[in-house]
Structure 1
Amino acid sequence: MGLSRARGVALLVIGTLLAVLAVTVGAGSPASAANRAAPSVSLREASGGLVKVTGRTASASPRVRFDRRSGSRWAVVKRTRAHHHRYTATLAVAAGTRATFRVTSDRRSRTFVVQMPASGGAATVTSQAAKPPTLYDACGARPRKADGTAWSCTFHDEFDGTALDRTKWVPQTAFVTGDATAGYACYMDDPKNVSVANGMLSLTVRKETSPQPCGSPTSSVTSYYTSGSVSTYHLFSQKYGRFEARIRNTASSVAGLHEAFWLWPDDRYSAINWPTTGEIDVAETYSLYNSVAIPFLHYSADAGGPQSGVNTAWNCTAYRGVWNTYTLEWTPTTLTIYVNGRTCLTNTSGDPAFQKRYIVAFTQALGNTKNAMVASTPVPATMDVDYLRVWQ
């Protein structure tokens, strides 16, 4: 992208469709304050392959969300709201099947497994082996490292306000994006291009009614197109850790749109001589290639061009127009990038370029070369960011 351019568990087994039983997870036993804050779960069998779920929440009337695991991914299956600390919901679990669910409220989650025997089976309840308790901090549930210890939150923005938090973010205004022949855009610090509302950051590329100066009001470079990009420049940077963002871009298969979640060396601590001094593109998306996200690690390997499995990957599924979660786990020896929980790229070079502090950036850009803007490129187009969470 360069400067121009996201527990304690009990196994609940439900019996036959005619039997009625209730099991409560997370209630009636001593627990830490963090565990008590997670919603409790009570299951009571209903008819026709439907299971009634009830439980208590930490606050009086939070939103409650149910996700169901499918392979390595979670999909939302139900949303409701608690009243007076209690909620109810009905989930579908076919006879003779087993399903894993996660209930979340107050940014606390609990996972449970429902197993419905085939018709005529006896009602049973078994317990799953205990797992390490879920720990929480400012970023919410703390993910665990490979060694079982928990990551600790160092930076987060849930974009819950009504304006960009300028103690965390700096809008980009010094560069342009796109293709001078097909069309380029000036990065602007303007609410039309950079805004926060409805729980998300929105970066928008748009066409203006008159040419706009790029870089400064007196710039001789102008364009009818403007766009938005923000970074933590001189406000936050970190060496190593876990970086995660949940992002949605504009649905399109027409060339012209380019989005990025990327990290750039903090120039307060190291000189910049791109590409050997490094750049970590956690995820770049291009409207011409509308079903993938492409990571790219810029460092000395750039001399050999793009190398799948080394500095980039081209098989990381991420459809446009829907929410996707992108995660970087970075240690002194390894960078691993995940797309929706699936490993996308692992680099074990331990290159000096990745032994320094980096800032974080989000960019809505116009494309260039093969992905340059065309007459039918859907503009305005917006990159939405649900959250950024960083751990160490």
Structure 2
Amino acid sequence: MKYLLLFPALLAGLSACTTTRPATGVQQHLYIQPDGRSQQSWKLIWEDNFNGSTLDTSKWTRIPRNNADWGKHMTSDDRCYDLKDGKLYLRGINTPDTAKDPRPFLTGGIYSKGKFAFQYGKIEIRAKLECAQGAWPAIWMLAENNKYGAYPRNGEIDIMEHLNYDSIIYQTTHSYYTLDLKQTTKPPHSGTAALRNGEFNVFGISWYPDKIVFLLNGKETFTYPRVEGADPSQWPYDQPFYLLIDQQLGGNWVGKVNPEDLPVQMIVDWVKVYQ
């Protein structure tokens, strides 16, 4: 789905300690789950409840416009962002003034790139998805570092994607293995799950060294395993990933946008990460 070039730098190694700690030096924002920690109870290591009046810029950045299919309407325009009553509102809107910005639509999104990334653990995001023709809200993850090369060699984890007025979400992994080698069934790289439309749902994954378990409202919905003997590109998920949350509009997959359905928004209650 996504086509981004990632940035270089890589963590030297993993800690063998029994407690989670961030990397040292310039990479303090990288949280690596120590060996053996997956056998213990989950411990909250990072969260945002969006209780402030402005976005916490020590954790998040507004996603800039990019040339990817999903990112061509991204903006930092305040009209696509709001925080109130302990919730973050990410909006897709008709462009108010096309003389200043010729794009027909503007969309809001945030990512934790350069500020928080983690390797293995559990992440949950409580959010409500509004519907519109051409709406494509997504919660997903990309590798913080350029360990294996240009996209898609570092992989992508789509925790949740929702299209139009659907009553399901898509949960997917993408990589060189699935996109270039076309290995989408060995093992299956995508699943769907029914959500409570018009209500808050909790989207997430539990991520281990040998599998990614997708979750919806606390229930396991789809698992992508690491396959022994497969091409090494099958499992780029052995490095820190950062989080993206965005209210996308339009694109080849979701189809054309109906301007009369706008504005549309994704309302985010909280984000919690455990290791």
- Residues 1:391 and 1:375: Cα distance change in structure 2 (over 3 Å): closer
Q: Deviations over 1:107-162 (max 9, x none)?
A: xxxxxxxxxxxxxxxxxxxxxxxxxxxxxxxxxxxxxx984x32122210001111
CA distance in 1, matches of 2:190, 2:95: 35
Q: What residue identity is the alignment partner of 1:157?
A: D
CA distance in 2, matches of 1:352, 1:342: 24
The aligned counterpart of 1:356 is 239
The aligned counterpart of 1:264 is 142
- Residues 1:177 and 1:2: Cα distance change in structure 2 (over 3 Å): closer
| TM-superposed deviation, 1:3 | 5.2
Report runs of 4+ in structure 1 exceeding 3 Å deviation.
176-179, 305-309, 374-377
Q: Is the 8 A contact 1:185 1:224 kept in 2?
A: no
| TM-superposed deviation, 1:286 | 0.7
| TM-superposed deviation, 1:176 | 5.2
1:211 to 86, 90, 98: 98
Q: CA RMSD in A?
A: 2.5
Higher RCO (Cα < 8 Å, 6 or more apart): 2
| TM-superposed deviation, 1:322 | 1.4
Q: What are the equivalent positions in structure 2 for 1:130-279 lying under 5 Å apart?
A: 147=39, 149-175=40-66, 186-211=73-98, 222-252=102-132, 255-267=133-145, 270=147, 272-279=149-156
| TM-superposed deviation, 1:225 | 1.1
CA distance in 1, matches of 2:173, 2:91: 25
- % identity of equivalent residues: 20
| TM-superposed deviation, 1:287 | 1.2
- Residues 1:238 and 1:375: Cα distance change in structure 2 (over 3 Å): closer
| TM-superposed deviation, 1:209 | 2.7
- Residues 1:259 and 1:212: Cα distance change in structure 2 (over 3 Å): farther
Q: Deviations over 1:12-46 (max 9, x none)?
A: xxxxxxxxxxxxxxxxxxxxxxxxxxxxxxxxxxx
- Residues 1:239 and 1:370: Cα distance change in structure 2 (over 3 Å): closer
Q: Is the 8 A contact 2:95 2:104 kept in 1?
A: yes
The aligned counterpart of 2:221 is 344
Say whether 1:296 aligns with 2:180: no
Q: What residue identity is the alignment partner of 1:159?
A: F
The aligned counterpart of 2:2 is 2
Mark the runs of 5 or more structure 2 residues left unpaired by the alignment: 5-36, 228-233
The aligned counterpart of 1:283 is 160
Q: Deviations over 1:342-384 (max 9, x none)?
A: 2111111264410011001101101323521243661110011
CA distance in 2, matches of 1:272, 1:309: 23
- Residues 1:370 and 1:188: Cα distance change in structure 2 (over 3 Å): closer
CA distance in 1, matches of 2:223, 2:44: 23
| TM-superposed deviation, 1:308 | 9.3
CA distance in 2, matches of 1:205, 1:212: 19
- Residues 1:195 and 1:352: Cα distance change in structure 2 (over 3 Å): same
1:312 to 190, 197, 209: 190
Number of aligned positions between the proteins: 235
- Residues 1:276 and 1:146: Cα distance change in structure 2 (over 3 Å): closer
TM-score normalised by L of structure 1: 0.55
SS at match of 1:354: coil
CA distance in 2, matches of 1:307, 1:334: 15
- Residues 1:373 and 1:170: Cα distance change in structure 2 (over 3 Å): same
| TM-superposed deviation, 1:197 | 1.4
CA distance in 1, matches of 2:217, 2:251: 27
Q: What are the equivalent positions in structure 2 for 1:26-45 lying under 5 Å apart?
A: none
Q: What residue identity is the alignment partner of 2:97?
A: S
| Higher alpha-carbon Rg | 1
SS at match of 2:178: helix
Looking at secondary structure, tell me which structure has more strand per residue: 1
Q: What are the equivalent positions in structure 2 for 1:94-105 lying under 5 Å apart?
A: none
SS at match of 2:79: coil
SS at match of 1:203: strand
Mark the runs of 5 or more structure 1 residues left unpaired by the alignment: 5-144, 215-221
